Structure 1
Amino acid sequence: MTQADDLADEERRLRQLRLVVDITAQILAEDRHLTLCEALRLIEAARTTAGRLFPGRQDTFDLVVRPRLERIVLERFGIVSTAPVN
């Protein structure tokens, strides 16, 4: 593969990950029948997908994406976070 091919492949994988994260966020926020357990499983499924698209980079998902999805879950289910506010 050339450098251009590598860049194109990475861009394709980034688009796929954005789509997965955006759809997950939308489901978490809007599906009225979603349970808390299902919501947490969706977050883990998105993390698994991120790991398949970018092996060894789940830590980036945990730092960047997981907090966004968890905030949606906290708001959706009226859970008060005990985490310190930065």
Structure 2
Amino acid sequence: MQEDIIREEEQKMRRLRFIVDLAEAVLMQSSLTLREALDLMDQTKKAALALFPDKESVYDLIYLPRFRRIIDERFTIPGSLSGRN
């Protein structure tokens, strides 16, 4: 039983890693508008929270800065989304 739980968690982690990697690749390589990029970031968060509903703070700590950095670099936003000046 414990092994099944561990296997399920590992599968969810692999799925999350795939989703995040794909979203990062699309953000870096596709010709998206800023709105589309922000929507993709939002949809990725929703997918992550569907897999791990109680881990929003972990998502915000680990993945949100990565997405913001990519968007900042792609769109050269004055003042940036990540709060850097």
Query: Shared topology, TM-score over 0.5?
Result: yes
Pairing of 1:8-27 with structure 2 (within 5 A): 8-27=7-26
In 1: Cα distance, 2:40 partner to 2:11 partner: 22
Partner amino acid, structure 2, of 1:39: A
Unpaired runs of at least 5, structure 1:
none
Q: Which residue of 2 aligns with 1:83?
A: 83
The answer to whether the aligner puts 1:56 opposite 2:48 as a matched pair is: no
Identity %: 39
In 1: Cα distance, 2:84 partner to 2:26 partner: 27
CA RMSD of the aligned region, Å?
1.5
In 1: Cα distance, 2:44 partner to 2:27 partner: 12
1:84 deviates by 4.7
How does the TM-score come out when normalised to structure 2?
0.91
Partner amino acid, structure 2, of 1:48: K
Residue by residue over 1:9-61, the C-alpha shift from the partner in whole angstroms, topping out at 9 and shown as x without a partner, is: 000000000000000000000102x0100100111111101111011111111
Q: Which residue of 1 aligns with 2:29?
A: 30
Which aligned runs of 4 or more in structure 1 are off by greater than 4 angstroms? none
How does the TM-score come out when normalised to structure 1?
0.90
Task: Say how many residue pairs are matched.
Answer: 83
